[in-house]
Amino acid sequence: MITAKVETITRETAQEYLGKDKGNNRPLSLPHVLELIGKQKRGEWKTNGDVIRFDTEGQLRDGQHRLKMVEQTGIPIEVVVVKNIDVDAFSTMDTGKKRSFADVLSIEHEDNARPLALTIQFVWKYLSRNLKLKIGSYEEMIQLLKAHPEIRKSVKFYLGLKEPSGAPGFPPITMAAHYLFSRVDKDKANDFIARYVNGLAADLTDPIHVIREQIIFSERQVRPIVSLQAFTLLVKAWNCYIAEKPAKKKFQVQRITEIVNAPRIDGGFPKELFFNRQTEMELLEEETEPS
């Protein structure tokens, strides 16, 4: 008979339950464990109804990552523990579609949920100083939006431009660029992005004109640039624009393999906005050492 009850999982309980894992779980994902550890340390982990499951043979079948989190942090959690589930029933679990961050924002009644989600995620990468970093938890993204509510205005500003046919692509990185540039100068960020999207350049040496034509031309090539390359080009054009320098030639396109660190935004971008968090990797140091 299936039983279910709320239990407080301590480090000792977690170790006991992990000892009942006989290899019937999905492979343990250390990055996912680290993500959960980060959530718990930041106070973001919440009991949400997800359960820890055992089969009729007493083997742990679901919940190993949460148990590993508690084992590493020693911070107790309350969860529902379900026991005596028929072994054949496990093939029917976890087959649904995972909510996207845009879904989460929609549930929170945010306007323009999808473009807002993409913009937040790119701003998060930039402030993490690594444009190729795996996106953090949804809770981290929500906290970023709370700390940077003006991102919503950047999304609305871009969508309100009603970009004409033939305008440059890459809306998410353009909205993110608008927000990041606005932390230097809001009026100049508005001017830069509006003229970039609508093609209202001052002359042929205007960096906005140069970058706009360069990105549009690239889209017609066999190997067009990708979003990270487009973003670095936008930053180069902005730096030229903010310094009031003409662009006498096209901007150099970095190879995608060379783009990792966030490019410097000139004009006084607030350095205190960059994240400075210690990694939680040391918590699993013994686990990750090669045997």
pLDDT tens digit at each of 291 positions of the chain: 899 999 999 999 999 999 998 877 767 778 778 888 988 888 888 877 789 999 998 999 888 999 999 999 999 999 999 999 987 776 566 555 567 889 889 888 899 999 999 999 999 999 999 998 888 778 889 889 999 999 999 999 999 997 766 788 899 999 999 999 999 999 999 999 999 999 887 788 999 999 999 999 887 777 889 999 999 999 999 999 999 999 989 999 989 888 889 999 999 999 999 987 544 434 444 444 443
Whole-model pTM? Answer: 0.70
Domain ranges for the chain: 3-96, 101-273
What is 3-96's CATH topology? 3.90.1530
Helices (H), the chain: 11-18, 30-41, 64-73, 101-107, 113-127, 138-147, 151-159, 171-182, 186-198, 207-218, 227-242, 285-288
Rg (CA), the chain: 24
Q: What are phi and psi of 130, to 5 degrees?
A: -140, 105
- What pLDDT, on a 0 to 100 scale, did the predictor assign at position 12? 95
Give residue 76's identity as a one-letter amino acid code: P
- What pLDDT, on a 0 to 100 scale, did the predictor assign at position 277? 55
